[in-house]
Structure formats: C-alpha cells, structure tokens
Structure 1
Amino acid sequence: MRIASSVLDLIGSTPLVRLNAVNRSEVPIVAKVEYLNPGGSIKDRIAVRIVHAAEASGELRPGGTIVEPTSGNTGVGLALVAQQRGYRCVFVVPDKVAEDKRAVLRAYGAEVVVAPTAVAPEDPRSYYSVSDRLVRETPGAFKPNQYANPAGPASHAASTGPEIWEATDGRITHLVAGVGTGGTITGTARFLKEASGGSVQVIGADPVGSIYSGGTGRPYLVEGVGEDFWPGAYDPSLVDEVIAVSDGDSFRMTRRLAREEGLLVGGSSGMATVAAVRLASRLGPDDLVVVLLPDGGRGYLGKVFDDDWMRRRGFLGTAGVGSVGELVRRKDVGGLADAGSLPAVRRDATVGEAIDVLRRRGGSRLLVLSAPQPVVLGEIAGTLDAHRLLAAAPGDSIEALIGPMPAFVGAAEPVAAARATLTAEESVLVLDDGRPLDLLTRTDLLAHASDDHEGTAP
C-alpha cells in the first residue's frame, strides 16, 4: 500500500508543467508547482530540515516554542512540523501580509503577531526586532532564522535542485526563481551549477525597490520576496542575473496564470513568471527555462484576485478622458515623474514644519511619511488636517495629530469614483500602478467641476 506515515512525507516531488498561453517565445518555459506541497508552498521543504537540525543540535527541546518572522509560508511549513513534533509556534508577520494568510497560520494552530512594514529592520517595531524580543521573553524559544540558517539552502540543494535536474533529464539551461530570504535560489542553484558543470544560468526575479536589483529596500506590495538587507542564506555568486519586476506586472501575470494556465498562484509566482518570459524572449530554441512557482493563490483572493483591490491601487485599466488620472494632470501636478512633490511631511516633523509645507503647496491636507520623499505607498503613516495643525503649537510634534490613512482610488477610475469616496472621506489618494500620484480633497473636485462648467458654457 502507498500510504504516507504523516503529512511531512508528502513534502517535495512536485511536478513540472509547461507554460503555454503566457509564453509566446519558441523557448519552452516549464514551471515547478510548489503549491502542491501539503502546506501550500516551497517553504515546507526548509521547515523540516531546519527543525530536525535544531533538534539534533539541542537548540530545540521537547515542549519548546518556535518563534519566527515570516511572510506566512515559512510559518505554515514550521507549523506543520511543529504539529507532528509537539511544539508551540509564534509567528511575527509584516502588516502587508494578507489577512487570509494570517488566518491560515492560525488555522494550523499558530499564534500570529503583526508588525509594521514601513520601518527599518533595526527599528524595535520591525518584525525582525519583535521576533528577537519574543525569543528573549519566551522560555525554551527557538528562532529558526531562515535568513541565515544554513539548513534552508541545504534543503533545496538536497531536494529542489535534484528534482528539477531529474525531471528535465539534465536539459535545463536556465533557472528563474524569486529572491527573498535567499535560501531557495542559493540551494537550488548550488546543486544545478554543480550537476551541469556550471552551464546552468541562474536568474533571480526581484520586486522593483528591493536591494537585490539595486533598490533601497523601500516597500513594494508583492509578498514573500525581495529584501531591505542582505540575508546570510543568500549567495550572490551563484546568481548570474537579477531581473526587477514591478508590482503591477507581477500581479497582472499572477491573474493570467490563473485564467489562462489554470495555475492559482501568489504574486511572487507572477513576478518570477514575468522574469522568465522576458528571459525567454532573448534565448534560443535549444534552451529550457524552469521557473519556480513558490506558493498558491488562495491566500491572496482578497488582494491580487479582487478586482476592486486591484482597481483602487491603479493596477487595472488606463487613465483616459474623464478619469481621475486626467483630473490630476489637469491640476498640473505632473504625474508619476513628479511624485516626489506630493503634499507630504515626515513623521518626525514639527507642527510648524508641516504648516510651512501646507503654505507652499496650498490645500488642506498632507500625507505623513515614515521615510523621505519620493512617496512610497507602504511608507504612508496617515494624514494631517490643516485645522488640527493650526490649533497646535508650532514647536509640537505632529505625532498626536496624525489622522487615518486616506482612501485609495485608481488613476483609471472615473472622477465619479473619487467623488463618491469623498462623500465619506476627507481625502483620497490617487494611485497609478501602485504608486502614489496625488492626494485629492473635496476642494479639488469642486475646482474640477467648476472647470468643466466653464468649458461647457455657451
């Protein structure tokens, strides 16, 4: 009888499938479908090896607690192993992680702590720092630290790489994988480089803004990939090229994979596929590209696969006549090239400094940022209202005056959408492909309505 002794025996041996609809080149692209692991992602592989290594070293003892910062998938893998081995799990996740993914962690019996994304790694509020504090405060705690744990890359060198080599009969010429904590691409590349005598080329797919592709690490929306520091698990000498992919391109490809290839995957899978398609367009018919699809899409149904979520962030449609984007252009703000001129102030500013910005810019509201300009969506901490500023002393901090985040509207949406939002909100942030374009208030819409009236007058 072919019966697994536990769910852990189901990890690995995932299939390869050819991509047809999204790949128009003559170069075959085949995807390794890692959401078919029992925990739904490639991170199941490292969880088993990390826990076994910790048990062998004595770092994790019976009745202990696993504490780890994670975007969700590593947590699920660790929770699966913890179930079988009798450990408690506490996971710290950044606030950009979808609520669906947090719910999955809780469903497996884990405790979830949410930390802000838009802070530096060394900030005590970051999910790295919070996990360190919990380790110090929890008796018998073990932190797997996937960012530096050598068992992570080793698990892929022992399983993912050999599976790809065997399934392609050694014909693979290029591997494409997202670069996150670094363990997946490092371990898989190490095996494939050795097996092929160095001929297999390894391409990292990376979100625009991540340090791997030359960014500063400032926030992006794709989850589980990219970093704002260099993890110890990552060996850059094994990666031949890094291709940066925008949030919008990643999400649109993710939706295409579901609708055209029958593969319901997460945003990082869409990102890797975009990189694979771009790569294939400059290769020859004798090449074979393998792209890793690290997780499934059920944890993203309320985000990437939700039309309203996509539209409000400017990922769907094109700004044309009668759109919010056209209104912004008519205000002569300048569009994306001038996004750095958005009405905004740093979170550590004084009331007097914020009033100075309002005087220069005009208007009645400001964005509050946790980092310098240009404005990045993940670093917006809230808004400031002119009335509240004028009631405070110029030397006071603005911290106590910060209001809620503005509502979002996509640049391609009709002006009526912004008008409807502003009936209940004081301001609305216009987004184009996920990037802040302008902050609109009711005054802006009144001016727009006045302009339209004058333009149609006899």
Structure 2
Amino acid sequence: MIFSKVTDLIGNTPVMQLPLMQVDSRLYIKVEKNNPGGSMKDRMARNMIIAALRSGRIQSGGTIIESSSGNTGIGLALAAIEFGLRFIAVVDHHAAQDKIAIMRALGAEIRYVKGDYGENEVAVVERQRMAAEIASEIPGAIFMNQSDNVANAGGYAELVREFVNQIGRIDAWVGCVGTGGSMTGISHGLKVHNPDTVTVAVEPEGSIVFGKPGKPYYQSGTGTPEGDTVGLVLDYSCIDYGEQVSDTCAFETARYLARRFGLLVGGSTGGAIYKALEFINKGTIRGNVALVVADGGEKYLHTIFNETWLQERNLISPEIWQQLDGWFAPAAGVEVQ
C-alpha cells in the first residue's frame, strides 16, 4: 500500500514470539515501536486530537499543550502536523534528550519546568501546572491533559483488534501503567474478547499507583511519582494484579533482550517483560501471554544502554541475566540454506 501522510503508518505493527522454557505458555510482544513516532503513544495522541477537534475544543490553527516525558509529545507533534496545529510540549530533566530532540525536529516548541529536582525525580506536578498555565494564556489553546482525558484510553481500541486478529485468544495481558490510558483501554478491550483474560499492570518501584510508598525512580514515561495524583483515566476495576518492578530488573531485561534477540526496547517495556516472565514461571499466568514494546531502546542509548551510566547508579546485576537465561529457552542452531 502507498500512504499519503505519515500518520497513516500508525498501527498494523508486527508481533514477535519469544522462546520460553515453560512449554505451557507463549510470550507474544507487539512491536509498537514500529509506529512512526516510535511508540504506542502515537495511537492515543492522535485520538486525543481528533476527539478535541470533533468536540470543538480546538480549531484548525489552534494550539495544543501537553505535559510529556516524550512519547506522547512525539505522537502529538506528528498529529499536530497533520491537522495544522501548533504544539507546545512541557518537559522536565527526566525526559530522554533524544525524545526532546525528536519533538523539536517535528516542529514542537519545548518548555522546561524550573525547580531543584534530583535526576531520578519526575516533575509531573509542575509540568502539568505549567502546561495548564500556558494554555490559559494563549487564546484558543487547550491543555490535552492525558491523565484525565478519556480519549487516551479510547486510542487503543484498534491495537486490541489487531492483536486478537494476529494471535487469537489472549489469556493474559501484562502492561506498564502510568497515566493508565493504555492499561485501561487495552484491558477493557481484551476482556470484551475474552472475559477470562488476566491483566497485570506494572509500575516502577517508587510509583504510587497501587498505594505503595513513593520514592525516586529512573524508569521514564511510566508510573506516578510521589506528590502527583493518579490520573482519572485509570480504571482499577479492569486490573487483576498491580505489580512493581525495580529499575535494575527493568533495565537489565532491556539490555538482555538487545544482546539475546537483537531487540531494542525501552526500560518500561523491559520491566513489563520481566514481570511477565516472573508470573509465567510462578504459574500465575499461562497460555497466550501478550505485551507490547511500548517504545524502542533507540531513545535510551545514552542511559540504560550505557554501562558507565548504569554503573554510576548501581543499576547492574549479572544475577538478573542468569535468571533470564533460565526463563528463556536456549538458542537453537540455525541452518544456513
């Protein structure tokens, strides 16, 4: 097929199956980093803009503002081009520099929050306050507010349809939870197809989504930091298990996947895959287990794929690699034709 605009490339992403030692389970990952903006957030970002245009909240030529750690911002920048909108992204120091560079390359205006934050502290509260303030000062502008925007969750309906068509019955879904949009939208959609689908939501250690004590963390674009409130878009009723994963487990899993399978994934995806493997090997979930590559590791080459950066923060653990070796089936020899 030949497409006329880059947003036509959103969706229809491929699925990989990773080999497991547990023969009663199959691990399928949908490679959402193949979307044009490099993440699953392309889907919901465009959906939020379409919803705002249809409702009359924004007009062509207007301005949209969003607080983002990067991926939603990239998706909004792409959709802003399509619909002739101005886009202002409010970011903090926690956002990967490569993501900010991509947003800027796509024409987004970047505004940084001010304040004294540690490098592993996420300034979501200040980002949202600043985004709302900017929107109030610009005539015809709106703050997209992904955390409370129902069009966030609604943006993943097509992903569910694609996944079910690709692999059939989905017995378990494991996903990251931040704003809660993807977890809510995908979980509800999957349970329509199969009410027995078990859903596992994964947040970083230090996130407060499931009521545990908050502390700083390095995982980007996931979780809710201490001091922030959980987004209204998150529906806890569709989640069967709420789990936490450490930065070390998340990042080491991402690095393992790169070395073992040649697959570059972001840290939050590494955390979700680690928890999926843990649950499979405990027997908590089995059958067809589904995840997404929420975004690619190409955006984190200077951090989680940089051994010096990891060593300086005590985020390296050979024991996790040994654990992963025991969970994945050994590599089979390949016969050259």
Range into which the TM-score falls when normalised by the shorter chain: 0.7 to 0.9
1:100-149 per-position Cα deviation (integer Å, ceiling 9, x unaligned): 21111111111112225547765xxx111111111112222121111111
**Structure 1 contact 213–242 (Cα < 8 Å) conserved:** yes
**Structure 1 contact 94–114 (Cα < 8 Å) conserved:** yes
Task: Name the CA distance, whole Å, in 2 between partners of 1:144 and 1:65.
Answer: 10
Shift of 1:217: 3.6
- Unaligned stretches of 5+ in structure 1? 319-458
Shift of 1:278: 0.7
Partner of 1:199: 196
Shift of 1:189: 0.7
Question: 1:210 and 2:207 equivalent?
Answer: yes
Summarize the alignment of residues 257-296 of structure 1 with structure 2, pairs less than 5 Å apart.
257-283=257-283, 287-296=287-296
Partner of 1:305: 305
> Mean Cα displacement is larger for which, 136-145 or 36-45?
136-145
- The alignment's TM-score, normalised by the length of structure 2, stands at 0.87
Partner of 1:79: 77
Partner of 2:9: 10
Partner of 1:34: 32
Task: Name the CA distance, whole Å, in 2 between partners of 1:286 and 1:119.
Answer: 35
Q: Aligned pair in 2 of structure 1 residues 132, 216: CA closer, same or farther (>3 Å)? A: farther
**Structure 1 contact 272–293 (Cα < 8 Å) conserved:** no
Q: Aligned pair in 2 of structure 1 residues 258, 276: CA closer, same or farther (>3 Å)? A: same
Task: Name the CA distance, whole Å, in 1 between partners of 2:262 and 2:187.
Answer: 27
- Unaligned stretches of 5+ in structure 2? 319-337
Question: 1:159 and 2:154 equivalent?
Answer: no
Question: 1:96 and 2:94 equivalent?
Answer: yes
Summarize the alignment of residues 162-181 of structure 1 with structure 2, pairs less than 5 Å apart.
162-169=161-168, 171-181=169-179
Task: Name the CA distance, whole Å, in 2 between partners of 1:149 and 1:88.
Answer: 19
The higher radius of gyration belongs to 1
User: How high is the sequence identity, in percent, across the aligned residues?
Assistant: 38
**Structure 1 contact 177–272 (Cα < 8 Å) conserved:** yes
**Structure 2 contact 248–317 (Cα < 8 Å) conserved:** no
Q: Aligned pair in 2 of structure 1 residues 143, 244: CA closer, same or farther (>3 Å)? A: same
Task: Name the CA distance, whole Å, in 1 between partners of 2:73 and 2:263.
Answer: 23
Task: Name the CA distance, whole Å, in 2 between partners of 1:121 and 1:10.
Answer: 30
Partner of 2:182: 184
- Equivalent position SS for 1:231: coil
Shift of 1:317: 5.7
2:207 aligned partner, one-letter code: S
After TM superposition, which residue ranges in structure 1, 4 or more long, deviate above 6 angstroms? none
Partner of 1:145: 145
Shift of 1:286: 6.0
- Equivalent position SS for 1:305: coil
The partner residue of 2:42 within 41, 44, 54 is 44
Q: Aligned pair in 2 of structure 1 residues 71, 270: CA closer, same or farther (>3 Å)? A: same
Summarize the alignment of residues 358-377 of structure 1 with structure 2, pairs less than 5 Å apart.
none
- Equivalent position SS for 1:211: coil
Task: Name the CA distance, whole Å, in 2 between partners of 1:200 and 1:285.
Answer: 10
Task: Name the CA distance, whole Å, in 2 between partners of 1:119 and 1:312.
Answer: 19
- Equivalent position SS for 2:184: helix
**Structure 2 contact 172–285 (Cα < 8 Å) conserved:** no
Partner of 2:22: 25
**Structure 1 contact 311–317 (Cα < 8 Å) conserved:** no
Shift of 1:24: 3.5
1:29-75 per-position Cα deviation (integer Å, ceiling 9, x unaligned): 11111100011000000111111111111111121111000110000
- Equivalent position SS for 2:146: coil
- Equivalent position SS for 2:189: helix
Task: Name the CA distance, whole Å, in 2 between partners of 1:230 and 1:286.
Answer: 30
1:373-402 per-position Cα deviation (integer Å, ceiling 9, x unaligned): xxxxxxxxxxxxxxxxxxxxxxxxxxxxxx
Q: Aligned pair in 2 of structure 1 residues 243, 25: CA closer, same or farther (>3 Å)? A: farther
Shift of 1:98: 1.7
The partner residue of 2:53 within 52, 55, 60 is 55
Partner of 1:254: 254
Q: State how many pairs are aligned.
A: 309
Which structure has more relative contact order (CA 8 Å, sep 6+)? It is: 2
Partner of 2:233: 233
Partner of 1:453: none
